[in-house]
Structure formats: structure tokens, C-alpha cells
Amino acid sequence: MLTFIYIIAAVIALVVLWIVYTYNSLIRGRNQVDEAFSDIDVQLKRRYDLIPNLVETVKGYMAHEKETLQKVTEARTAAMAAHSKAGASIEEKAKAENMLSETLKSLFAVAESYPELKASANFLQLQDELSDTENKIQAARRFYNGNVRDFNIQIQVFPNNLIAGALKFTAYEFFEAEDKEKEAVKVNF
């Protein structure tokens, strides 16, 4: 009888240890996803800080392209608002960021029409910094999506899903490109 009690106690201890281990790994995974998203925010803040400088540099060269500059400024404001909005979904934030990316592309396309602007050292430096920031944002998004994938798998596999469901762990959304960004780029010479 005493051996049976030891076996039951050992099984209970193993189950408790497994629950504690699973809970801790779910917390670790959730924190990694949150950290990865904050990495995106850091790069987006850098982008937001660069855009006004870029717009001011461009303003002096192309006064009649006011509409393009205004769209960039509005898209920047909308993206910042989406990231500041409490409870905004990843999809809402991604949509605002994708809109900003599109307006920046149009700004650089318009800048191609101004050889003196393209030759400006200040503009070239800002363009390089913005391009570098865009690359870092893409890397941060890939890192975030990798962490989301790992966390979502962790909460969906059996038997972890029993603990995750009972403790209300929910899946994160991936940071996805809009349909417009998935279309093939048209190059005309």
C-alpha cells in the first residue's frame, strides 16, 4: 500500500512539474513575441524621426509636389496613431505601416525627376538612412513572425494546448503585407 502511495505521489509531482515547466515556457514565449514586436516599434520610431527631415529636405527642391509631401506626412501621422492606439490589432498597425511605405515609395519616385535633389548630399544621406531603417524594419518583422510562429505552435500542440487553453493563452497575429505589396512590381524603361 505504501508503494502505491509513493507511485501516486511521484505521478502527481511529475504532473505538477510538467505544468510548471509548460506554464513557464509559455510565459517565456509570450515575452519573446512582445519583445520582438517592441523591436519593430524601435525601428518604426527611427523611421518616424527620419521622415520629417527627409520631407523638409525635399520641400526646397520640389515646391509644386506639395500633394506627395502631404500624403507622406499624413501617412506618418496615421502610422504613429495606429501604434499609439491602445488595443490596436497587429493588422491595423500593419495596414498603417504599409500605407506609409507606399507613400514613401511615391516620394522617392517623384524625387527621381529632380536631378539636383538626387545629387544633394543631405537627401542622399537621409535616403540611405531611411533605406537602412526599412531593411531593419523588415528584419524585425521577420523576427517577430518567427517568434509568433513558435509561440502559436507551442500553445497549439498537445498536451500544451490543455494548459494554454486553461490559462487563456491566445495566439498572436502575424505581421503580414497588404495585397498591394504582394503584387509584382512593374518596371518601365
Residue 73 lies in a domain: yes
Let me know the angle formed at the C-alpha of 45 by 41 and 47, rounded to the nearest 5 degrees: 115
Highest mean pLDDT (candidates 40-49, 153-162, 171-180): 153-162
Residue 5 lies in a domain: no
Nearest to 55 by CA among 73, 33, 67: 73
Residue 165 lies in a domain: yes
User: Do residues 176 and 32 make contact, with C-beta atoms less than 8 angstroms apart?
Assistant: no
pLDDT in tens, 55-95: 777 766 666 566 777 777 888 888 888 877 877 777 788 78
Total of domains in the chain: 1
Give the chain's end-to-end CA distance (angstroms, integer).
87
How many CA atoms lie less than 13 Å away from 62 in the CB half-sphere? 24
C-alpha cell at 147: 517568434
Note the pLDDT of residue 154: 94
Residue 68 lies in a domain: yes
pLDDT in tens, 152-164: 999 999 999 999 9
Q: pLDDT grade, residue 185 (50/70/90)?
A: very low
Let me know the angle formed at the C-alpha of 66 by 62 and 69, rounded to the nearest 5 degrees: 90
Q: Residue 115 is part of a domain; what is its CATH number?
A: 1.20.1440.20
Residue 29 lies in a domain: yes
Nearest to 65 by CA among 111, 14, 32: 111
Query: With 60 as the cut, is the pLDDT of residue 44 above it?
Result: yes
Note the pLDDT of residue 45: 85
pTM value surpassing 0.85: no
Q: Which domain holds residue 150?
A: 21-182
> What gap in Å lies between CA 179 and CA 33, rounded to an integer?
24
Residue 164 lies in a domain: yes
Note the pLDDT of residue 77: 84
Residue 6 lies in a domain: no
Instruction: Tell me the average pLDDT across 21-47.
Output: 90
Q: Write the CB contacts of 12 (distance below 8 Å, at least 6 apart in sequence).
A: none
